Amino acid sequence: MNYSNIDFNNKTILITGGAGFIGSNLAFYFQEYYPNSRIIIFDCFRNEEVFSNGNLKSFGHYRNLIGFKGELICGNINAQSDLKLLNGFKFDYIFHQAAISDTRVNDQEIILQTNVNSFKHLLNIAKENSSVMVYASSAATYGSSISPQKVGSENPENPYGFSKYVMDQIAMNYSKKYPEMTISGLRYFNVFGPREFYKLKTASMVIQLAHQILDGKPPRLFNNSNNIYRDFIYIDDVIQANIKACNPKKNGVFNIGTGKPRSFQDIADILQKELGTNFTTEYFPNPYNGYQVHTQADISSTEKYLEFEAQFSLEKGIKAYIPEILRMHGNDISWLIYKTKLLRF
């Protein structure tokens, strides 16, 4: 799928965070559609260190990259010595995805160091190389601000959201200082799709609920989940956004969602339909205070400046994702049953 007129063949492309969910999908996108592009992944991968919330400090996993034929640099964006490993390249495009992506980490120091300081270094690399810079921001910059969330109504409510908010300020200042540069920030809403499995508990509710159902258990949701809405966006649309963000009509930060909020109950119901189950959903009290109950991307400026339009509804995205959900369930039998079921219809 070509999302723009840009020919990435013979271009040198850096993907930070390329062993993670979105970065690895980007890498495979370029590999498939622009086989003569030179793709360099920079990622620290995972080790066994965990934050106080029990989650891993980074989620990069080699299994996301099986079949990747490009170049790989294992490095930490916080380490100057590792960033030096990027010297000697001349990047045409930088897709900066590396970050502490876990929204529930409370260690402010490490989040700000990782997400903010490193961004300045990468912008400097982009400046020196005359690279296009596309970086990952987040809907978490909005906190509980009123839907539909619009650029300019930020109110981050956790260190992660704050770090992305600061990145956006840095990018805007950089754009002003160096107007010849192309810099696009993408505020992803709730992304789901293949290669998110290794994010474990921080992966989307789509795969988590699907695997509960495949384990033979009813889907478990917070009380009132039919009234808790998110703007769920399928990974292919996030790739579309990254490609279009390489040639924006103007630099800026753009919401990446469908613009159509859907409930967590919708996810459970669509999954049950796709997987052919009929469990009664179980509900339990929401343990989180100040939980955001409605997100919806205002995509007017994304449509205008990136010509972006999501192509996957929640139903279409889940349908496309089912084979991978079954494969990642680690149970080839479920894949076979699914195929048999399809053959019966």
Ligand X SMILES: NC(=O)c1ccc[n+]([C@@H]2O[C@H](COP(=O)([O-])OP(=O)(O)OC[C@H]3O[C@@H](n4cnc5c(N)ncnc54)[C@H](O)[C@@H]3O)[C@@H](O)[C@H]2O)c1
Catalytic residues: 160, 199
Our finding on whether 58 is near ligand X (CB under 6 A) is yes
Q: Site for ligand X (CB under 6 A): which residue of 37, 55, 114, 212?
A: 114
Selected range binding ligand X among 37-45, 146-154, 304-312, 316-324, rule: CB under 6 A: 37-45
What are the beta bridge partners of residue 184? 134, 252
253 class by beta-carbon count within 10 Å (0-12 exposed, 13-18 middle, 19+ buried): buried
CB of 7 to ligand X, least distance (A): 25
Residues 126-155 that bind ligand X (CB under 6 A): 136, 138-139
Selected range binding ligand X among 15-23, 242-250, 282-290, 325-333, rule: CB under 6 A: 15-23
CA dist 259 and 180 (Å) reads 31
Question: Which of 38, 45, 40, 2 has the alpha carbon at shortest distance from 20?
Answer: 45
Q: Site for ligand X (CB under 6 A): which residue of 12, 30, 43, 171?
A: 43
Selected range binding ligand X among 92-100, 141-149, 209-217, 276-284, rule: CB under 6 A: 92-100
Selected range binding ligand X among 18-26, 144-152, 176-184, 223-231, rule: CB under 6 A: 18-26
215 class by beta-carbon count within 10 Å (0-12 exposed, 13-18 middle, 19+ buried): exposed
Q: Site for ligand X (CB under 6 A): which residue of 26, 122, 191, 267?
A: 191
Dig out the tokens for 267 from the structure.
Answer: 């996810």
Our finding on whether 99 is near ligand X (CB under 6 A) is yes
CB of 240 to ligand X, least distance (A): 15
Dig out the tokens for 17 from the structure.
Answer: 């965070």
Our finding on whether 44 is near ligand X (CB under 6 A) is yes
283 class by beta-carbon count within 10 Å (0-12 exposed, 13-18 middle, 19+ buried): middle
Q: Site for ligand X (CB under 6 A): which residue of 55, 190, 295, 302?
A: 190
H runs (alpha helix) in the chain: 21-33, 80-83, 108-112, 118-129, 159-177, 205-214, 235-244, 264-275, 300-306, 314-328, 332-344
Residues 67-86 that bind ligand X (CB under 6 A): 76-78
Q: Which is it for strands 229-230 and 262-263: parallel, antiparallel or unpaired?
A: antiparallel
Q: Site for ligand X (CB under 6 A): which residue of 3, 30, 34, 59?
A: 59
Positions touching ligand X (CB under 6 A) are 17, 19-23, 43-45, 58-60, 76-78, 97-101, 114, 136, 138-139, 188, 190-191, 199
